[in-house]
Amino acid sequence: MFKAFITIVILSTSVVASASTIGNTIRDAKGNLAIMNYEEAAAFCDARQARLPTVREFASLSTEMGAKGIRETKYLNLSYNDSAVQREVDANSLDHFWSITKPGPAGEPVIDFYYSHEGYNFQNPEQWSNLWFWTSSVAPDIWARKSWKSMWTWTSGTGSVVSEWRLPDRKLAVRCIFD
């Protein structure tokens, strides 16, 4: 399976998530990890008056655990393919901050923020393990393959953020946020 690894850079953030606001990893009645596809995960959280964390909330949590963190873009809502945006992407990648995209006003990918997981300190292997988690954040396809429906995912083992296809048989771990 192909995975696009994206590095993100962030200058500052207005959303702060912590281990206390992102709920525990969901388990079934027997205590086993509940692994779900995206639709099941979103419905599970919604049925409990909760929601899946955003990619920014997981990036903020990773920052709390030692990651370099988040940098904001200077080019809100400007197409990812714009030459000024590409220069910013290139400059941030030199510092190992990778672009996190979102759908723009016309549906085209735009930079949401940049993120670097460098320095992330895996703090609780008994609870977190090396799990991949769904987020509620859409990862638009910057290569214009619009038939692919991707979501941003986060791994507890490295603090990495990766876009993942939202396929019915693709099952990941789930954490919910109770606002």
Any alpha helices (H) in the chain, and if so which ranges? 38-47, 55-64, 83-94, 125-128
State the Cα–Cα distance between residues 9 and 14, nearest whole angstrom: 15
- Looking at residue 142, its pLDDT comes to 53
Using CA atoms, how far residue 15 sits from 29, 55, 56, 60, 103, in Å, is 32, 11, 7, 7, 19
Q: Where are the domains of the chain?
A: 6-165
CA 22, chain centre distance (Å): 13
Sign, CA torsion 116/14/36/128: positive
pTM, whole model, 2 decimals? 0.80
Cα 88–54–119 angle (5° rounding)?
A: 60
pLDDT in tens for each of the 179 residues of the chain?
A: 333 332 222 222 334 444 446 777 888 888 888 899 999 999 999 999 999 999 999 999 899 989 999 999 999 999 999 999 999 999 999 999 999 998 888 888 899 999 999 999 876 655 556 788 889 888 776 544 554 567 888 888 888 888 887 777 889 999 899 88
- Looking at residue 91, its pLDDT comes to 97
